[in-house]
Chains A and B, each alone.
Chain A
């Protein structure tokens, strides 16, 4: 069974997903960061594949992408690092990456590699639903890779229903009109959007991301969903850390408190 399905079958609230960029802050930190995220009690690990032009990301994640690329991170190296990671990590692991690097690697080879090393799902923010259905769904399915779509406050109800029909992992609810990072609090307008989507009774679980940074925003978001995703705030924690394992565990303890 895909680990994402297993997770949501057994846990329906306060699911915590942590995003970090592969090869950041140092090239060899990918696996140690994953181990610390698991030890800190998160539920899903989201590994960002660094890209030169991450248009959906704010300054913090742009910077981590650039540092990782400068460190020499590439798709090839990432898959080398991931060989054997399942001996240490039992959490569901999702790769988040822009379409171009994946296309250059080859979608078929990419999905095959994901399956081989033990990746459960993908988030490709610039792969819209129709293009996914037309070009890639068959490949994802063949390798048992779950695809995740984003929705935003602007997404129509009709389209949310279509997206819900075409995925079976979870739906990534972008919390506001924004790129990643920014925003300190959850506004009334956002609450209205969270409640509106909650009332739709979708078949897929929903995780809220973008702008989630601390225990308060995590708890608030979790009231309206199955859990939340933290990215930029986590990148800031590991950016200047001199003891990754300790700092990550402490941070996650604080979030879950």
Chain B
């Protein structure tokens, strides 16, 4: 432009806004974008005029890949979507497949699924609270949250051997029953956890910095939130009591008692309050389910006609002339065991509504597997929420939407 730095500064000093907007990239390596999210920002000073999220850095083609795998194998893919709460993804996939196959899940398996789903919710919310607070500047909460999340992950490790990618929920039931040790651990956890939630709250609830950075930020009205497709705690923060667990109960959610907390103003603070209350409710659900477990002692956790046993095992044999890439082929017939048709199932995952739509053509592989993930929709709402806010608030807004990029990119 031919202006020296001094001239530019003097020109802009006193002026209420800059002459022309400038553009910056936030991400994909920014620590506060919770993964590989890239935001292309149009700025007027520090105010955001426009925001264009660019996703796809973590696109692994799960939907395409699923068309080449049989139904049970896709469960493993589902772990890698929202890797913070993989049990929720497993459950959504399995519910859709069970509807398609017409399978009945044994009661004990349904209760076990509810427990792991709520454990996933707690561990996901704890991670959210930890990183959200860290982004805004409260370091201590981070350490406290990770202490308790570690506890949960250890229990998960005892349940299924994995800490993050569980694959514990299977088509028709769950992989294996809980041992006594796990039940005792969970009892201990549920006893201590309400105090712990109180502990987090005392850390930030009256903190002035926390309040000023969260109150009246990214306000969404109820109508707007529905139009934007927001679900889960983000929608409930705006005062809409829509919770799939109550509206279309699955697993054992119709047997347990819990409340659906809702917010009033629909700002970042309200969504924080909703999630904190959900932690308590989840704890309550786990407690009730543990008591129900003793009623169903000894029942099977996987029905005998589960497709694991129905789909004939295909023999793996080396190819006559090994292909340079593959080396092995699967032999054996594909027996039609799945009725042609379609099924839709949705669950309340920790982040929002996770829906799976599956179309079958009668073979043992899905013809089309569509996954509607909450993070994808929440990122799409980001430009609307961020408009007119400062860059520093953008960090709080990304945090409040609780996005995981593995979930949004699939």
Please indicate whether A and B come from the same complex rather than being unrelated chains: no
| A→B interface (CB under 8 Å) | none
